[in-house]
Chains A and B, each alone.
Chain A
Amino acid sequence: MRRSMRADETAARSSGNPVSLDGPARDPAVARTTSAADVVHVASLSKRYGEVVAADDVSFALPAGSVTGLLGPNGAGKTTVLRVLLGLAEPHKGEALILGRRYRDLDRPMHVVGAVLESGDFDPGRNGRDHLRVLAFAADVPQRRVDEALAVVGLARAAKRAVRTYSLGMRQRLTLAAALLGSPQLLVLDEPANGLDAKGVHWLRTFLRGFAADGGTVLVSSHVLAEIAQTVDHVVIVDRGHVVARSSLAELVADGKTLEEVYLALTSEDAA
């Protein structure tokens, strides 16, 4: 299966498929906003789960065209912040806005934001293509985008198989395909490299850089610092619900330290 996935992927790229790699940027349906306003605006966001303060007074903003890494130890609150940003959880205080609006107030949000969550969210009995067809209907995206997105992530051959037969990396690719359906201008990705093979990781990095170069904005959480260091231009580091660093990658490693050294100095040892 691996081999055929790679073949799909290569085919999608070399055939000059209009949505491969730099696809969403070339899609005339999407006019990228390059206005001065921040694409993402998180202000004094707090979220509690019972006793646990998962996010405490978190603030950051993402300008258009930036790729920002959201870093932090297990349980630091990264997923919590992304869930609030995506309208899946309500904050106790503060707000998280996309283009000035709450996610739940966006019209046709998948045309604006593509999201990859850390959990594989499928009905295991449905095939990959039908999964995307369902979401395309719900998101008001033309059905032709389904096969385009499958080709972009290299899943065309496995598209008619039930998701329960997919490997971890294939599920991750399917989630990515869903995120790309609406040709969004913002990608919010929670551990997107999880389970991807070496080629997939390389593809993702290239894709994200190309996406940002075309004016798209990316917020990506990850633990793989070496990977992040090659992909992002800004970082937000959270620890036990607090933002402990927020700057450009260049500034953060200005005095000759590696991202890993800075990260380890700023974050605590135990999972929150």
Chain B
Amino acid sequence: MTGVLRAELLKLRTTRTAVWLFAGLLALVCFVVLLHGFNLSPSRADHSGQMRIFGWGELGALFAALLGAVSITGELRNGLVRPTFLATPRRQQVLAAKLLSAMLAGLAFGAAAEVLAIGLGSATLSARGIPIRLEGEDYAQLILGGVVAAALWAPVGLGVGASLRNQVPTLIGLCAWLLFVENLLIGELPAVARYLPGAAAAAIGGATITGEVPTDPPLLPPILGALLLAGYAAVAMIIGIAATERRDVP
């Protein structure tokens, strides 16, 4: 198992895919935080308004999901999956190693994105003379939440990728789900949408990337959000592993 994990970690380090995703994530966080930071009207720059801006680091969860997904769909696309499964025919071991390496990368994605969002957001608001209303525990929740959400969305992406197998629909589906579908649902059907995986991620960090923070009913408490998201991750992985074990390697 350690050999399989080392192989997966080496895969991450020896192509540019992870680096490009990381760069894309940081660029997108910069763009969104600057845009919202400069546009935030001072009347709405209260605690929750500021949390929303600083919470954009949760985009790390989306990119961790994309990385998890690409780690399997990319191999299915270029055929590397064949030598991979020839070397390790117990396919669940390969997926377990991918799970660990994608979660590790997700931790880094989440931490970097959230630290960037907080740093850039504070600088932007300070430059406009808006006093920062967040306190120590807010920062702790944002960073911890961003890290946990990203680490748990990585296996969601991996599981979805292993189930769907096809790279383009998988990546489009993940983006559309997090940025669009949940965004609509949280506005229209908050009572249901608060239990969805994007809202669960938002609940952990105390902010939402999927739209307005609902107040009636509100997002779940952070711990419940984390447990629920871990449940989604487990279900996605179980389906992905079952599909990979059962189906022929293309």
Contacts and interface: CB of A to CB of B under 8 A. Distances in A.
A pairs with B: yes
Interface of A: 83, 86-90, 103-106, 109-110, 113, 115, 117, 119-127, 130, 133-135, 137-140, 178
Interface in B1-55: 3-4, 6-7, 10-11, 14-17
B80 A121 contact: yes
A122 B249 contact: no
A105 B130 CA distance: 64
B250 to A, nearest CB: 9
Nearest 9 CB-CB pairs, A to B?
A121-B79, A138-B7, A137-B7, A138-B87, A130-B14, A89-B248, A88-B249, A104-B89, A139-B87
A58 to B, nearest CB: 17
B7 A135 contact: yes
Nearest to A132: B83
B4 A138 contact: yes
Contacts of B6: 137
Given A113-B86, A122-B80, A135-B87, 12 more contacts: A87-B85, A87-B89, A103-B89, A106-B89, A110-B86, A121-B83, A122-B79, A123-B11, A125-B15, A127-B14, A138-B7, A139-B88
Interface residues of B, number: 28
Contacts of B82: 88, 117, 119, 121
Q: Is the interface of B mostly helix, strand, loop or mixed?
A: helix
Nearest to A110: B87
21 contacts: A87-B85, A88-B86, A103-B89, A109-B87, A109-B89, A119-B79, A120-B79, A121-B80, A122-B79, A123-B11, A123-B74, A123-B78, A126-B11, A126-B14, A133-B10, A135-B7, A137-B3, A137-B6, A138-B7, A138-B84, A178-B83
Interface centre among B6, B79, B84, B87 (most CB of A within 10 A): B87
Contact of B86 (A89, A109, A134): A109
A121 B78 contact: yes
Contacts of A106: 89
Nearest to A182: B87
Interface centre among B15, B83, B90 (most CB of A within 10 A): B83
Contacts of B81: 121
A126 B15 contact: yes
B81 to A, nearest CB: 8
